[in-house]
Chains A and B, each alone.
Chain A
Amino acid sequence: MSRLVIAVAPALPLHSAGKYVAGAYIVFLAMVLIYVAIMATRLSRTEREIAQLQRDVDAQRSARDADREREPVA
């Protein structure tokens, strides 16, 4: 049946085929752009985590320095 469909189906004229070809290439482009958007979200999350780590390390260092200053000098 499907072979018969292909045999009788003429080549689509440009104005009809154009939307399908555009559709296929837009799917490809959208796929890549969605992937890039997801990666951008992950990257911003990693940046936030690095900033948080930096704050935590700074806080730990300040606490250690404060402890050292409080120690009695003999």
Chain B
Amino acid sequence: MTTYGRGLRGLSLAAAATITAALALTFFYAPLDANQGFIQKIFYIHVPLAITALCGFVFGGVLGAMYLRTGERKWDIRSYVAIHMALIFGVGTLLTGTIWAKASWGHWWVWSDPTLTSFLIVMLLFATYQPLRFSIEDPERQSRYASVFSVVAGAFVPLNFLAVRAAQAYVHPRVLTLTGGNLPGSMRLTFLVALVGVALLYVTLWKYEMAAKSTRMQLRALRRTLLGDDAVAPLKRSAAPS
């Protein structure tokens, strides 16, 4: 039995401290962007959310692969929660991105930008994950099919990212590259702290969700042990593994 609550307090405090530090750096330390001015401050929340969401989808795929390898239900639950959390962070990315686009470009959405459109495609792809799960009644098949989906869709994420990077005609600024990009030191530090903060938040919320699911399952098992099978109500059809 895994106890997901272990270390959760320290992790929560670390996430809160890092995000607070990131906000302080964003508004009191990082200089104003010469081109975009104050509006560029959205970068420090939008890009970390996007990177964390995409990594979350890949993480869900890796956990799905672990389920296919071992057949243990815990991997399917972990994969489900990872994708669920990544979807929430992805919605945050889209919302902050559209606000930035409106302020910067005067439009809520620019279809000709490959980064925006490809992120939307990834989001729409993963938006089908929950309906796919819900459509399969048998829990065993549900886990297996969902894991295959998570592996394939998770592999699509880096491929999609590379394809967009390789595209020539883009309007999204390229500030992060393997050679360090063109961010000045103070901006890079702020960005990295924000990225660590958002990543810690993702891990914290993932652990919270896992702890909640695990507790409910243990409670159900305890009820069955103490009062017998009749005392446990049959599970309703759900997209979530149970």
Contact = CB atoms under 8 A, between A and B. Distances in A.
Interface residues of B, number: 43
Chain B interface, DSSP helix/strand/loop, else mixed: helix
A27 B38 contact: no
Interface stretch (B56-64, B125-133, B218-226): B218-226
Contacts of B216: 42, 46, 49
B105 A9 contact: yes
B168 interface: no
Contact of A11 (B35, B171, B205): B35
B42 interface: yes
Interface string B176-203: 0000000000000000000000000100
Contacts of A74: none
Contacts of A18: 38
Given A9-B105, A46-B212, A20 B99 contact: yes
B105 A31 contact: no
Given A2-B171, A24-B42, A53-B219, A13 B49 contact: no
A60 B113 contact: no
Given A20-B42, A27-B99, A49 B219 contact: yes
Given A24-B45, A46-B215, A11 B37 contact: yes
A12 interface: yes
Interface string B106-140: 11001011000000000000000000000000000
A17 B227 contact: no
Contacts of B37: 11-14, 17
Interface string B30-49: 00011111110110011001
A21 interface: yes
17 contacts: A2-B105, A2-B113, A5-B105, A12-B36, A12-B103, A17-B38, A17-B103, A20-B99, A20-B100, A28-B96, A31-B92, A32-B201, A42-B212, A43-B212, A50-B219, A56-B226, A56-B231
Interface of A: 1-3, 5-6, 9, 11-14, 16-18, 20-21, 23-25, 27-28, 31-32, 35, 39, 42-43, 46, 49-50, 53, 56-57, 60
The 9 closest A-B pairs by CB, nearest first: A11-B37, A20-B103, A17-B38, A17-B39, A24-B96, A24-B42, A2-B110, A27-B95, A24-B99
Given A5-B107, A6-B171, A27-B99, 7 more contacts: A5-B106, A6-B104, A9-B105, A21-B103, A31-B91, A46-B215, A56-B231
